[in-house]
Structure 1
Amino acid sequence: MSLTNFKAFQSAEVRLAPVTLLTGLNSSGKSTVLQALALLRQSYDSGILLSTDGNSDSRGGFLLAGELVELGTGQDLLHEDFVQDTSEPVPLISVEFRTSEKKRFTWSAMYAPEPDVLPLFHTTVPREPELWSDVPLFSRSFQYLKADRIVPATTYPRSHHQAVGRGFLGAQGEHTVNFLRYHAQDLVPEGPLRHPQARAHTLMDQVVAWMQELCPGVNLQATDIPGIDSVQLSYGFGGTTGLDSTRRRRPTNVGFGLTYALPIVVACLTAGPGSLILLENPEAHLHPRGQSRMASLIAAAASAGAQLVVETHSDHVLDGTRLAVKQGRLAASDTAVHFFRGNGAGVEIITPTVAEDGSLSEWPEGFFDESENTLDQLLG
């Protein structure tokens, strides 16, 4: 994936693997990568990400404000030290990605300071619609779960269109409970995503088993509320599945961690070949053990054929991914770890390579070294 004049990047290229970890200090450009992908998907869903003929008024564009991302206007999107082709009247903001099948997709939008739709100036895309649908970014199996996910609540929305028609969990995971209610008895295909301790192969039983990796003994129910367009989530404790438990607890009485993690668990368990999942901070509100287990689930989803791009601040997510490689649950070649840091003149991207034994080719300064630095001071 290549970005030009896009927010934090004057120019950048980022390799996207089946599991891609985006790490680094705050405001170093990690989110920009996810936002660029989400912007393309958002524009595609709205129907305006079209091929251009160079003259048509219906040439398409970037939709900057929508359900996935709200990026403001062109002035917010354009890199402050933009590069400009002297043959063009305005700077171009470009996103390009190349698939493993050598398909090339490029969109270059014309900068305009005010509109929240930037018109496309030039595109290089396959003309055949079927070639678009083969790309995970434009497939039906797409999820984007932002850092500000659903919080514990008494009810959640019941939208048949979103959860069932589109199979979309919502950018905040707000449709997860209804999705799980509707698909509870669907089977998780045989493979790495099936938890060995689950009572059965149904989605609900598999979700319970993986959630117990985060909180031993927990179980959950997703039910509709007759007469209103809402659904309800409840938790129980103390059993392997506990669906016959008589004492249920509202999410508001349990805490943030489980509810925050639930959309990620459901997204991973329903991912398959051709799926793309964008995740922001999957470690949020989880104990270190839970963060490591979340990495195991992410690795399992990738092994089942999905592609995941993950922004994380957690060394436990990194180490959990490395452990999956060492244990043979994820191929080293199926990982990409990128460390973003400012260098005074822009953003520097350092990409350590993961070896088959889980080791990293380099450990740059500032890359998950705070624990070691603190320990040195404690022992000094």
Structure 2
Amino acid sequence: MLEQIGITNFKAFARQDIPLAPFTLLTGVNSSGKSTVLQSLALLRQSYEAGLLDESDEAGGFLLNGELVELGTGQDVRHETYVRHESSAVDDRDITLSVTKEGRRFEWRAQYGREDDLLRLLAHPNGLTISASYEPHSLFGRGFQYLKADRIVPAVSYPRSHHAAVHRGFLGARGEHTVNFLRAHQDDTVEAQSLCVPDVSSTTLLSQTDAWMQRLCPGVNLQAVGIDGTDTVHLSYGFGSGISASNRYRPTNVGFGLTYALPIVIACLSARPDSLILLENPEAHLHPQGQTWLAYLAVAAVAAGAQVIMETHSDHVLNGLRIAVKDGRIPAASTAVHFFRRKGQTAEVLTPSVGEDGTLSDWPDGFFDEWENSLEKLLG
């Protein structure tokens, strides 16, 4: 499990170390640094997959534009102000990213180039290096999933990529390979008991996907089939079962939120020990009850051995996590809640802790307090 991420001179942060837990919740106002945390991890993964994180390779560096993130050039990602490092050998403009696992810190430092979209890696003055052939943690393992906020929308068909869905087990940064992943793995067993809905006899991926999707929309069921003679897959929804079963409906004729949430559900159900799942705004287009259930699903993935880092604007997601702690589904020590807000030209991170009874140690100004603020105005 990743225990911390360190960010220097990158996007919202001049310098920041952010502790991570099995379930880490990132929340706060818009443009305050939440996405920067996820993008930092995605940037390392993207650069690693391109074979560019080996400091012994002169061609190595941070690949700013690729499958996971498209960040532009150096001037787009370097923080507006930059900090002075302890060593005079380090350029103040350099961008540094690090992750910590089991107390061991892995750090990469890249040279700033205003118009460069590949920021060249530099030897670290403290001798911290990492070989591209060495996988120290789940960030570079097979169980990695990163789902952006702009995910797949209802469509007539979806891409059919054996390499992505089967060989790599990857859903795509926008979830574009989710439907084909479900088609290819629908009969696989969901082995973790925590992920299986108790009153569903079948533990196949398709059956459990139906069961969790029914928490979002009662009675719904899915089918994912390949379209003969094409490189596409067809997704359809039905409602009810047996003689009361409805016709099959294409995604464009059912609620937008179902298709938008599907990649989140599949990512959690396919989690394995040492998986790393990065989720942006899983609550989008969902009813409040569905938002709470997605928090329960993410907690179940953590119980199955995965690490989840989730960005959210939903108090229903936060409360789902708090209820899960109170109910004993996840220990309070396995959670981290970070509240981001702007402070001058950089971001400030506040970290209220969750108690075993689901209470929070602190409630910073601006932290999910709009309901109370509105109620005060209504009653005033």
Partner of 1:108: 109
1:90 is displaced (CA, Å) by 5.8
**Residue identity in the other structure for 2:61:** G
With the length of structure 1 as denominator, give the TM-score of the two structures.
0.94
Is the alpha carbon distance of 1:190 and 1:341 closer, same or farther for their aligned partners in structure 2, counting shifts above 3 Å? closer
Asked if the contact 1:155/1:230 (under 8 Å) is kept, the reply is yes
Q: RMSD of the TM alignment (CA)?
A: 1.6
8 Å CA contact 1:220–1:243 kept in 2: the answer is no
Q: Which amino acid aligns with 1:177?
A: V
Match of residue 16, structure 2, among 9, 12, 18: 12
1:67: which partner in 2?
67
- TM-score (structure 2 length as normaliser): 0.94
Q: 1:138-181 CA deviation, whole Å, 9 max, x = no partner?
A: 10110000000000000000000110011000000000000000
- Report the Cα offset of residue 136 of structure 1: 0.8
Q: d(CA) in 1 for partners of 2:27 and 2:80?
A: 23
Structure 2 counterpart of 1:12, one-letter code? Q
- Give unmatched runs, 5+ long, in structure 1: none
Size of the aligned set, in residue pairs, is 371
Alignment check: 8 A CA contact 1:149 1:172 kept: yes
Distance in 1, matches of 2:224 and 2:43, equals 31
* Number of the residue aligned with 2:31: 27
C-alpha displacement of 1:91: 1.8
> Is 1:279–1:308's contact at 8 Å kept on the other side of the alignment?
yes
Identity of paired residues, percent?
61
What residue ranges of structure 2 are gaps of 5+ in the alignment? none
| Runs ≥4 residues deviating over 6 A | none
1:168 to 155, 167, 170: 170
How many angstroms apart in 1 are the aligned matches of 2:170 and 2:84?
38
Indicate the SS of the match to 2:27: strand
How big is each residue's C-alpha offset from its partner over 1:174-210, in whole Å with a ceiling of 9 and x where there is no partner?
0000000010000000420111122401000000000
Instruction: Report the AA paired with residue 262 of structure 1.
Output: L
1:133 is paired with a residue whose SS is: coil
Q: Compute the displacement of 1:261 (Å).
A: 0.5
The equivalent of 2:58 in structure 1 is 57
**Equivalent residue number for residue 253 of structure 1:** 253
Distance across 2 between alignment mates of 1:185 and 1:22:
34
Partner of 1:304: 304
C-alpha deviation, 1:92, in angstroms: 1.0
1:154 matched to 2:156: yes
Q: How far apart in 2 are the matches of 1:18 and 1:133? A: 19
Aligned residue for 1:358? 358
SS at structure 1 position matched to 2:174: coil
Question: Of residues 210, 213, 226 in structure 2, which corresponds to 1:211?
Answer: 213
Query: Secondary structure at 1:340's aligned position in 2?
Result: strand
**Given that residues 80 and 345 in structure 2 are in contact (C-alpha distance below 8 angstroms), is that contact kept between their aligned partners in structure 1?**
no
Taking the TM superposition and a 5 Å limit, the aligned residue runs for 1:1-380 are 1-52=5-56, 57-58=58-59, 60-85=60-85, 86-89=88-91, 91-99=93-101, 101-123=102-124, 124-127=128-131, 129=133, 132-239=134-241, 245=245, 247-380=247-380
Aligned mates of 1:128, 1:291 — CA distance in 2: 38
Q: SS in structure 2 opposite 1:164?
A: helix
